[in-house]
């Protein structure tokens, strides 16, 4: 199935061609026709599935060619990084249309955003708190709004944006199209979807616990006290390729980055405690390839759209299974091959078991030579093959991931 057969107009097809997208991803195949018809949509798609184009392309087509600018589409996102990313995509996909986009988010001055809004725009991409601020000050008037997108709705709720999102929903015209995306559809997300959606011609895409097919999951059992050394040993052995290392806390992020740097491995770190300037600088270095490894917290890593992440490392096992799905979604994007390595210490065995139940798969516990733990997890993994030493294997698999 081609992009043209989905009903997209020439200006968009030309831009897509320049992006070198050959075929629509599954979510694009399903969501673009629904979006073009003006129907509501609930998409349970994780990041990396091409969902941004899936909602932006129909919006750009709908808004193209109208005279003058009026604010007609709002995209709400959880983080400033994701806002910037959606803005970049909107400008790229819309480069042959008349549609203008502006992004507004917290953590930076209001004034440039106020001016940009004052100059007129068709699409506003925003984090909820800052959008509400601008709306209350009269910088933006949603009375002509036709399309609302809630992107990564689960993350917006996790980050405490529910009251802001509800206030925004109350201020928007009821007659509108709503496109709702979330990696996971749990109780709260479902309630928000019901409130936000008008007509229930909603389409559900993907499975909420799905991780991309191209991901190879590797679980390495290691003692807690050996994790830093094991990580740096593993990274040191591997050819430098884009790697995202996740830690649960800001403190952990800095600690890991410091440790591996001391071991001679270049890495940048990213967490919410850093200034926007420091975050941008770290992201630029990672994106440009100047540094291959980024250590980040989950929140900071949201919305970082970096292609070719070969490996995701869970330095800490996430205490929420859905977060595992999010993290792993950072690699193997758009059908590529990737690896997800989890360093598993005994205090995390049960969390890993919950994750495996959640994604309905189970993984062999492996070990790194020189870092074999004092105790190996037994139940309930005795059904799987006995642990084997696999340093070379990890390296080889990593090489394979890079070549694809």
For ligand AMP, the closer of residues 55 and 131 by Cβ is: 55
83-122 per-residue burial string, b: 16 or more CB within 10 A, e: under 16: bbbbbebbeebbebbebbbbbbbbeeeeeebbebbeeebb
Q: Phi and psi at residue 161, in whole multiples of 5°?
A: -85, 0
Cβ at position 54, least distance to ligand AMP in Å: 7
Q: How far is the CB of 113 from ligand AMP (least distance, A)?
A: 23
Smallest separation, CB 12 to ligand AMP (Å): 12
From residue 174, how far is each of 191, 195, 196, 400 by CA, in Å? 17, 11, 9, 51
CA atoms of 41 and 199, how far apart (whole Å)? 9
Least separation, in Å, of the C-beta of 324 and ligand AMP?
18
Residue 118 to residue 162: CA distance in whole angstroms? 27
Indicate the residue among 1 and 350 with the shorter CB distance to ligand AMP: 1
To ligand AMP, the closest distance from the beta carbon of 6 in angstroms equals 11
Name residues whose C-beta falls within 8 Å of residue 228's C-beta, 6 or more positions apart in sequence: 255, 256, 259, 260
Cα-only R_g, the chain = 22
Closer residue to ligand AMP in complex, CB, 265/283: 283
| Residue ranges that bind ligand AMP, judged by CB under 6 A | 21, 24-25, 28, 47-53, 305, 307, 333-334
Instruction: Give 198: exposed, middle or buried? Use CB within 10 Å, 0-12, 13-18, 19+.
Output: middle
Q: Please, which residue, 96 or 259, has the CB nearer to ligand AMP?
A: 96
Residue whose CB is less far from ligand AMP, 208 or 365: 208
Q: Smallest distance from the beta carbon of 45 to ligand AMP, in angstroms?
A: 7
Task: Pick the closer one to ligand AMP by CB: 52 or 177.
Answer: 52
The answer to whether 402 and 241 have CB atoms below 8 angstroms apart is yes
CB of 397 to ligand AMP, least distance (A): 22
Q: Give the Cα separation of 227 and 346 in Å (integer).
A: 11
Judged by CB, which is closer to ligand AMP: 243, or 345?
243
Q: How far apart are CA 244 and CA 236, in angstroms?
A: 14
């Amino acid at each position: 199935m081609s992009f043209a057969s989905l009903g997209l107009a020439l200006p968009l097809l030309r831009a897509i061609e320049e992006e070198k997208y050959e075929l629509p991803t599954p979510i694009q195949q399903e969501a673009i026709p629904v979006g073009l018809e003006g129907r509501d949509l609930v998409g349970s798609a994780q990041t990396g599935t091409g969902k941004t184009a899936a909602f932006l392309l129909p919006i750009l087509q709908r808004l193209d060619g109208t005279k003058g600018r009026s604010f007609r589409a709002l995209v709400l996102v959880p983080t400033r990084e994701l806002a910037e990313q959606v803005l970049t995509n909107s400008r790229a996909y819309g480069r042959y249309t008349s549609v203008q986009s502006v992004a507004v988010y917290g953590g930076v001055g209001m004034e440039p955003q106020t001016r940009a809004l004052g100059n007129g725009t068709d699409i506003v991409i925003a984090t909820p708190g800052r959008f509400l601020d601008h709306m209350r000050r009269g910088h933006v008037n949603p009375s002509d709004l036709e399309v609302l997108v809630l992107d990564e709705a689960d993350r917006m709720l996790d980050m405490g944006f529910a009251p802001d999102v509800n206030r925004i929903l109350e201020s928007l015209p009821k007659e509108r199209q709503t496109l709702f995306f979330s990696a996971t559809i749990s109780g709260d997300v479902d309630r928000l979807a019901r409130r936000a959606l008008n007509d229930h011609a909603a389409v559900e895409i993907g499975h909420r616990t799905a991780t991309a097919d191209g991901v190879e999951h590797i679980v390495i059992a290691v003692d807690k006290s050996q994790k830093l050394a094991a990580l740096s040993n593993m990274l040191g052995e591997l050819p430098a390729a884009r790697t995202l290392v996740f830690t649960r806390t800001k403190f952990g992020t800095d600690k890991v980055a410091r440790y591996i740097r001391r071991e001679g491995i270049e890495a940048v770190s990213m967490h919410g405690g850093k200034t926007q300037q420091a975050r941008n600088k770290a992201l630029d270095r990672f994106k440009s390839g100047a540094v291959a490894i980024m250590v980040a917290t989950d929140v900071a890593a949201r919305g970082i759209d970096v292609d070719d992440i070969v490996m995701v490392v869970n330095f800490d096992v996430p205490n929420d299974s859905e977060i595992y799905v999010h993290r792993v979604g950072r690699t193997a994007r758009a059908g590529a091959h990737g690896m997800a390595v989890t360093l598993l210490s005994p205090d995390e065995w049960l969390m890993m078991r919950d994750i495996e139940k959640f994604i309905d798969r189970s993984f062999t516990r492996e070990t790194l030579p020189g870092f074999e733990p004092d105790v190996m997890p037994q139940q309930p993994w005795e059904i799987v093959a006995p642990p084997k030493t696999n340093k070379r294997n990890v390296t080889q698999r990593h090489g394979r991931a890079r070549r694809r």
